[in-house]
Amino acid sequence: MYSLLGVPVLLLLVILQSSVVSRINLSNGSFDLVLISLIAFGTQRGSRHTVFWFILGGFLVGIVSVIRFMHPIIPYFIVGVMVEYLKRRVWKVPLLLMVLLSFLGTMVVQVFAYLMIYLTQVQLPLITSFLQVTLPSTALNIVVGIPIYLLVRDWYNSYVPMEEE
């Protein structure tokens, strides 16, 4: 059932991120609603096809992104693999996993974005970019990630029957 609802919800998240959420800034960083929502979904017990949802989310974000089209797909895929690995192997406390993956996922996406911009011959100062974009984005993603995790957990539990878990 959640598979049928996942695509429209993901489309809505991309639209919200590109129109409303991108205007909420701390210094020059903003939070990534799609990434954080996908991490929150991926940390749910019994969630399936996590890497697929991350690739789809990266594809949809790539459509509306200013940077090259393929930019978000690769870091989103990497974060999806990290979510799957850490969920199954390491952690049993999903909220702590959410905070850790919000930090790591933001770092992966931001570093990849910096490298893509750097490879297009635009010279950005590394320390300034880190202090004014990456750290504020990471802080926003962690702070906003906790309420998003709670919302996704309630949504997931209401649409996935106990037998499927």
Phi, psi of 124 (to 5 degrees): -110, 140
Q: CATH number of the domain at 159, please.
A: 1.10.1760
- pLDDT value at residue 165: 44
- pLDDT value at residue 161: 64
Instruction: Report the distance separating Cα 3 and Cα 17, nearest Å.
Output: 21
Q: Where in the sequence is the domain holding 145, given as residue range(s)?
A: 2-164
Of 3, 87, 90, nearest to 45 (Cα)? 87
- pLDDT value at residue 70: 77
- pLDDT value at residue 35: 93
pLDDT per residue over 109-148, tens digit each? Answer: 999 988 888 888 778 888 888 888 889 999 999 999 999 9
State the total domains in the chain. 1
Residues of the chain with pLDDT under 70: 1-3, 91, 161-165
Residue 139's alpha-carbon distances to 12, 125, 129, 135, 144, in angstroms, are 23, 20, 15, 6, 9
The residue type of 64 is V
